[in-house]
Structure 1
Amino acid sequence: MELHRNKLIAAFTPIAFFRAINGSYDMENVRKLTYKTTLTDQEWQELVSLYNQKFQEERKRNDEQKKKHAQLKEKFQEKITQLKKIAASIPEITDIFLVNSYALGSLKETSDIDLLVITKPDTMWWTRLKLTAALELAGIRRKPGNIEEQFCLSFFITENAMDMSKIAIDDDLYLHFWISSVQSLLNRSLSSWHEQNPWLKDIFPSFSMQDFTSPPVPAQLIVPPTTPTSSPPSSSHFLNSLVRPLMQWRHRMKQKQLGPEASIVVSDTMFKFHNLDRRQHYKEQTLQELERLLAQANSKACPERQSKGSKLGIELQLRI
C-alpha cells in the first residue's frame, strides 16, 4: 500500500516543522501531531518504513539535535528547580509553562528559557512585578547582556484567558505546535489549557490531554508537590490596580518604538511582548521543508524546490 499524498502531507508536517526550527522529536510524537487527520496502524507502519528507508540524513540530524537538547536541558535543571520554588511561593501564580526552544527540542548553547506565566484574574501586573523582582534577586532573569540560561518573562496571561486562538495568525503552524508542546512547572493548569483550546483537537486529532509533559527534575532537587491556592491574598487585587496603569503605559511606550515585526499585547488579561514575531517565517520555512520531504519521499534525489503549484497545493491541504 502507498500512502495517499494528503496523508503524507499530514504526517510530514510535524517533521517539516521540527526541521524548520532545528528541533528534535520522537516518531511517537509525530503520530500524535499528524496534522488535521489520523493514520491507521497500517498507514503509520507504511510511514515509518518510508521514513527509515529514505530519510537517513534527517534521522541523523534529529538524533544529533535530540542528544544536544538533552545535554543542555541537564544544565538548566537546577535553575528550573529554583524557579519552581519561587513560583510556588507566589500565591498569585497559577502555573508556569516552559515553552519555545526548551519544549520544542531546539535548545542551543546560547538559549534562554522562555516562560508563559499564568496568574489569578486581576493580579497579572502585580504578579509580573513580584516575579521579576524575585528572579532578579536570584540572578536568573534574562536582561540585556545576560541572556544565556536565563528566564525570559515576556508572556503572561490570566487563568481565564488561556484561549490562544485570539492571537493566531493565518494558518499559524508555529502556534499550533507551541500550544501542544508546553511543559507545566507546577502541574496545575494543563487541564484548563486543554479545555480552553478545544479547537486544537481539529488540528491534532490524535493529541490528548495525557500527551502534555512536565520538565524533569533530578531526584535530589525535587520540590514537594504543590497545590493551587483557592484565591490570592485580598491585597493582591488592590496592588494590581495600583501598578497596572504605570506598567501598561510603560510597555505601550516601548511598543511605539518597535516595528511591524513585533508582536505586542498589553491588556488586563494578557501581556505578550515579543520584539520579533517569527511565526510567519517559521510557517514559510515549514512549507519549504515539507516540499523537500515530499520530493524525497517520491524520489532518491531531493530537489531544493518544487513548482509554485505544488507549494500552493500543500498550503491548501493544510487549511482543510
Structure 2
Amino acid sequence: MANHPALQAGRAAVITGGASGIGLAAAKRFAGLGMKIAIADLDPSALDAAAAVIDEATPGGDVQVITVPCDVSRMEEVQALRERAYDAFGDVAVLMNNAGTAPGGGPFDHYDRWQRVIGVNLWGVINGVHAFTPAMIGQGTDAMIVNTGSKQGITCPPGDTAYNVSKAGVKVLTEGLQHELRNTEGCRVSAHLLVPGWTHTAMTAGGATEKPDGAWWPDQVIDLLLEASGKGDFYIICPDNDVTREVDAKRIVWAAGDIAENRVPLSRWHPDYKEAFADYLKR
C-alpha cells in the first residue's frame, strides 16, 4: 500500500505535541521516510530529548530536526512555529495538529481546566489550521493536515465534558476543512481526522509505566495513520486491543441515534437503555 503522496523523502513535517506519545511516534516514522522534522511542544528540555530519540531511531542518523517551544493555544506562537518551519525547510508537506491536554471538567466545575483544555485541544488546532493552511495550499504541492481527535468527541461519554467538547470541535473543524480544501481550485492539500483508541502515552498512563494489555502503542496508531491516509481515508478511527473497529462503529451509530430517535442524551449510559444497547451490540 502506497503512502500519502505528501510523505516523500526531503520534504518536511511539522508536529505539535511532538515531544512524546503519538506526536513523537509520528516524528520518528516520518524521519524514517527521509523527511525533515519540526517538533513543537511546551518544554524545551523534553524537545531536546525527543530530538535525540528521533536521531537515534533514524538509520544513518542524518535526519534534520528542529525543535520549537510553543504554546499552541497562543496564535502568535503558532505563527512563529510556521515561520521557523518555512525558514528552515522552504515548504511543509505535513502539518500534524496533535498537541493535547487533559483532564478538563464536568459541565459546571473546574472552570480553569476548561480554559486550558479548550485552549490547547481546540484553539491549538484552530490556530494551526489558520496559520498553516493558506501557505500549504499556495505551495501547489501534495500536502496533508492531520488533526488528532478522540472517540470522546464523537460518542461523548459522561465524565470529562470539557475534553469531549474540545475534541468534538476538532471533528467539526476538520470536516469543514476537508470540504473547503476539496472545493478549492488547484488545491493539493488533504485533511484527515486521526481518532486514536486507547493508547499508552504519558497523558493516558496516569504515572504508570507498564502498558495495559488493552492499549495500543503510539507506533500502532501511526501505522494505521500511514495505511489509511495512503488510501485517502478521512476518518482514521483506531481500534485497540480491547475494542474492535466494528464495536466502535456500532457505538458511533448508537450515539447518533439518540438524536434521530429522540432518546435521552447519552442513552448508552442510562439505566433504562442498558439492555437495549447490549442487545444492539450483539446484533
- TM category (shorter chain) comes to under 0.3
Q: TM-score, normalised by structure 1?
A: 0.25
Q: Please tell me whether Structure 1 or Structure 2 has the larger radius of gyration of its CA atoms.
A: 1
Higher relative contact order (CA 8 A, sep 6+): 1
